[in-house]
Amino acid sequence: MTPVAVAYMVGALGMLVGVGIGVRLLSVTDVDSRAGAFKYLLVIPGAAAVMYGLMAVGVGTVTVHGATVPAPRYVDWLLTTPVLVGYVAYTAGAPKRATASIVSADAAMIGIGWVAVVTSGPIRFAAFTVSSACYVGLLWALYSYLPTFVNRQNTGRQHLFELLRNHVGLLWLAYPIIWLAGPLGVGLVSMLSVSLVITYIDVVAKVPYVYFVYQHRHAFADDRFADATDGRRTQVSQLAD
């Protein structure tokens, strides 16, 4: 196996650790899994494990302007990153319309990013710029918009929201930099280096994310949120013992 294929296989195995954590999260008895919407978290490491397995055996690999690009990586991101940001919005108590807007911006970022991969010249860098603008919009939503929905009285839920938000927001800063430095950008680093770094960041971004929810699952044990008249959610009751 090539070094890249080995890295992808290690990435798939790493994601399976996240799947195990997700399954454990669904089986806990001290928290209502429905209140925590834990079932959606399995999509994050589960889809990533499948796509990294495909990449390890060379399925879906395409050559674009001399650079080898694994299409399953973008399928992975299109499936998993909306769940990542959507769940952050859920922990903040954001209404469905706000969550849908954030998820749509994320999907647009990934989709337009793929356009930047398969095109060339001015179109490529225009697509990269638009995709990056979507990311900037996501950062604004994560750090300025979503905090307006957080119930400050529930310190556990607030802490989980801030933990997941920072984990996603800060790690994702590396992706546009790596893309721009790679062969599809200005060509400062090889595609091998890009593949290795992205695989590492992907595992670090997804597996600890699920573990953080498991570790702080009790944030969902002592409150329920209902839609308020202004579209926000406020604390209305406590779960029975």
Domain that holds residue 159: 3-221
CATH number where 111 lies: 1.20.1070.10
Listed in sequence order, the residues at least 6 apart from 196 whose beta carbon sits closer than 8 Å to its beta carbon are 3, 4, 7
Q: Is position 89 within any domain?
A: yes
Q: What is the value of pTM for the model shown? A: 0.88
Axis-axis angle for helices 71-92, 96-118 (nearest 10):
160
Q: What is 183-209 written as a DSSP string?
A: TTTT-SS-HHHHHHHHHHHHHHHHHHH
The Cα 95–Cα 116 span in angstroms is: 32
Q: Is position 16 within any domain?
A: yes
Q: Is position 237 within any domain?
A: no
How many helices and strands in the chain, by DSSP H and E?
9, 4
Virtual CA dihedral for 89, 158, 17, 105, nearest 10 degrees?
A: 20
The tokens for 170 are 């800060």
The Cα 195–Cα 177 span in angstroms is: 13
The residue assigned the tokens 């044990």 is: 221
- Residues 147-200 have pLDDT tens digits of 999 998 899 999 999 999 999 999 999 999 999 998 888 889 988 899 999 999
The overall average pLDDT reported for the chain is 89
The Cα 77–Cα 137 span in angstroms is: 17
Domain count, the chain: 1
Mean pLDDT across the stretch 68-85? Answer: 95
Contact 116, 124 (CB under 8 A): yes
Q: Is position 241 within any domain?
A: no
The Cα 89–Cα 231 span in angstroms is: 13
* Alpha-carbon distances of 120 from 65, 159, 181, rounded to whole Å: 8, 43, 15
- Residues 8-32 have pLDDT tens digits of 999 999 999 999 999 999 999 999 9
Q: Is position 229 within any domain?
A: no
Q: Exposed (0-12), middle (13-18) or buried (19+): which is 184, by Cβ within 10 Å?
A: buried
Q: Is position 11 within any domain?
A: yes
Percentage with pLDDT > 90 across the chain:
78
Q: Residue 234: its pLDDT value, please?
A: 38
Contact 64, 113 (CB under 8 A): no
Q: Is position 171 within any domain?
A: yes
Q: Is position 127 within any domain?
A: yes
Axis-axis angle for helices 191-215, 43-56 (nearest 10):
160
